[in-house]
Structure 1
Amino acid sequence: MVANGEQQKQDLNVEEELLQDSDCCGNGCTNCILDHKPRPSKRVLLAGKRNVILSYTKFRLLRRETLESEAESKTGGQVLLLHFGHAPEEPGAGTEDDTVLDIPPGHHVMLRIGSLLRPYSPYWSDFQAKEFRILVKLQAGGPMSRLLAAVQPNDLLEFRGPIGQYAHDASTAKCIYILAQGVAIAPTLPLVRQVLENEEDMSRVWHLVCARDLRHVYFREELLEFAQYWNYRSCLYLPHQQCASAACQEAGHCVPECLHLRRSLRYKETAKVARLDACGLATHLNASIPGQRLLIVAGDSTFQKTMAQMATQSLALDPANVYLL
């Protein structure tokens, strides 16, 4: 075990030396790889093994699923579920048993294809099997989107990570507000699970999901499973929800008394046909519930900046307790 610990230190030193300015994707990520260097976690150190993704490593595409086609999306762009598994350079080599895959909740990995770099946040990973899944929305005309649109099962892609700064402390109860936009709901799922699946964690979670309409709310089944826990609350914000009724067509969106929307909702699902704003955020503030208040925002840079500013005041948050994915 001592030898393994020394090897971990050597691996870490090598990784920091190998980190180059070119490892930054240039997209202005909140958690830039240059600021938050990939390093072994406590979980990896306790396992006495090496995190296989600390340097750029090949992963094989095991499954590709189209959740939404470009023709189905009013906003344009396919939504793909991509499932990757580690592809050892020497299959069957004994050293393969000395590695694991550790991507903590709230962290992302960097995909490298040629000179292109893009960050993606896994919503599921397997420590021992060394597999992970990401949800990707392809952008029209995007260089990386064009490449990902063409990838097929058995193709090899390179990833590096994990990159991020969020670390949940279950020792003290907290009020955790998680705001998610569109496909960015995916990486918030493990953040919720780590609270709900820990019986000793008394933290409460408010999961506020912003989507175009009900059809664009991904992972509804998972949200319904979360709703079974006493310390979880969610609300869907659907500003473009619209049915075929005359009243809703005239208004341009479903009206509050829309029966079609009510019937479309499942047990314990709450939805509002509106954008999430400062007033909407304030309705989720319950000053009688004790605990430090944290905010986690997942979405594009504009969504992150806007929500972080609004929530700081509406939810009485300390700016130091705001985390952007």
Structure 2
Amino acid sequence: MDTESESPVCCGSGCTNCILDQENRKRKIPSNFDGPNVLSTGHYHQFRCTHIEPVTNSTYLMRFQFVASEETTQEVKLLIPPGSHLMLRVERNWRNTPRPVNELFSKWCVETSRADAHQARVHRQVRPTIEKYDKTERDLYFSRPYTPIVVNQTERSFDVLIKFETGGEMSQYLLTSNVGDVQEWKGVYTGFCWTRNLFSHLIGFVQGVGLAPVYSIMKSILQDEEDYTRLCLCSCFSDISGIILRDDLYSMTKFWNFESKIYLSRESCTCDDESRRTCSCLSSRKKYNEQIFNHRLESIDVENLLQKFAPNSFQVLICGTEAFVAFIETCISKLNVSNWYKF
């Protein structure tokens, strides 16, 4: 599955008639996720925040549960295929109502307040301006995509990872959110559909919160007793304290067909030989057989991993920043890898 063609991009204005809605109608939802769904691609629905939990210094897990109406029956489920995403929208005038910052996020606010204000200005400037798809709809909202990592069909709830960005409009709003608040979500948007045992190996290269879609896909494969695909997830973070879902990744290695490799680009090192790619500094901080490397993921790492597999026996999944995705694309193109998908 070669994905060199560009996917449509949402303008982030929270339009009811979104270009993603039009594109999504052309895509096939897996048959096991076809049925009465509380979500529809044409409308926003209310979900109540029921849980907030810190994951790293800047990343939080938030749980949202469907707010049922009198017309909603128990037969209607929350069906979200692994790897797909939802859109969260917020009114642009939300600041008109006093909303204090949640104390749970106060530590992040203190740390970011020490950062250079220039970085915040740069962050706001780099966001590209995307032409609206529906020019007839008033610009009353802004929206952002998030990928559920856990879906509870019984409770009709889902968990998402939220990374706060300095100067980010949605981040500023979510800093004021609390358990009990009701938000508007729309979906489901999906471009990748996994077929059981389609390849003998599935390899993921992810960076930061880009872990979410690949994690959810691999988690679902591990829960499928008839899927024997071997999985390898290469995750990239800045330091050991910034590793997202570290305990979950470690517990997944108990499965015979899952392997986790974690690369740290900025972890402090006290080794005498700085040129070494293997470092003993993390030995006391790693769990038994936990594969954490004190260096950034490099092309040699990608090549050594993928060259172990027979051609066309594996598929590669990629998710991260544009620079990270471009780096992985360059690596796999040199190896003539044709089966890959980027989120």
TM normalised by structure 2 equals 0.73
Structure 2 residue aligned with 1:309? 330
Q: Does the aligned pair in 2 maintain the 1:176–1:293 contact within 8 Å?
A: yes
Structure 1 residue aligned with 2:103? none
Q: CA deviation at 1:140?
A: 0.8
Q: Secondary structure at the match of 1:80?
A: strand
Q: Which amino acid aligns with 1:56?
A: Y
Q: CA distance change for structure 1 residues 180 and 32 in 2, over 3 Å: closer, same or farther?
A: farther
Whole-Å separation in 2 of the counterparts to 1:126 and 1:187: 16
Whole-Å separation in 1 of the counterparts to 2:169 and 2:44: 20
Structure 1 residue aligned with 2:46? 58
Whole-Å separation in 2 of the counterparts to 1:35 and 1:107: 14
Structure 2 residue aligned with 1:85? 65
**Percent pairwise identity:** 23
Q: Which amino acid aligns with 2:322?
A: S
Q: 1:222-261 alignment to 2 at 5 Å?
A: 222-243=248-269, 245=270, 247=272, 251=274, 256-258=278-280, 260-261=281-282
Structure 2 residue aligned with 1:112? 89
Q: 1:1-325 alignment to 2 at 5 Å?
A: 24-25=11-12, 32-37=20-25, 41-45=30-34, 48-54=35-41, 55-69=43-57, 78-88=58-68, 90=69, 93=70, 95-114=72-91, 115-243=141-269, 245=270, 247=272, 251=274, 256-258=278-280, 260-287=281-308, 292-314=313-335, 316-318=336-338, 321-325=339-343
C-alpha root-mean-square deviation of aligned residues, in Å?
Answer: 2.8
Q: CA distance change for structure 1 residues 288 and 177 in 2, over 3 Å: closer, same or farther?
A: closer
Q: CA distance change for structure 1 residues 96 and 274 in 2, over 3 Å: closer, same or farther?
A: same
Q: CA distance change for structure 1 residues 157 and 312 in 2, over 3 Å: closer, same or farther?
A: same
Q: Does the aligned pair in 2 maintain the 1:122–1:135 contact within 8 Å?
A: yes
Q: CA distance change for structure 1 residues 196 and 66 in 2, over 3 Å: closer, same or farther?
A: closer
Q: CA distance change for structure 1 residues 208 and 160 in 2, over 3 Å: closer, same or farther?
A: same
> Which of structures 1 and 2 has the larger relative contact order (alpha carbons within 8 angstroms, sep 6+)?
2
Q: CA deviation at 1:64?
A: 1.4
Q: CA deviation at 1:220?
A: 1.3
Q: Which has the higher helix share?
A: 1
Q: CA deviation at 1:164?
A: 1.7
Q: CA deviation at 1:41?
A: 4.8
Whole-Å separation in 1 of the counterparts to 2:189 and 2:309: 35
Q: CA distance change for structure 1 residues 303 and 32 in 2, over 3 Å: closer, same or farther?
A: farther
Q: CA distance change for structure 1 residues 275 and 107 in 2, over 3 Å: closer, same or farther?
A: same
Whole-Å separation in 2 of the counterparts to 1:221 and 1:173: 27
TM normalised by structure 1 equals 0.77
Q: Does the aligned pair in 1 maintain the 2:204–2:232 contact within 8 Å?
A: yes
Q: CA distance change for structure 1 residues 58 and 254 in 2, over 3 Å: closer, same or farther?
A: farther
Q: CA deviation at 1:241?
A: 1.4
Question: Number of matched residues?
Answer: 281
Q: Which amino acid aligns with 1:265?
A: K
Q: CA deviation at 1:125?
A: 0.8
Which sections of structure 1, spanning at least 5 residues, go unmatched?
1-20, 70-77
Q: CA deviation at 1:160?
A: 0.7
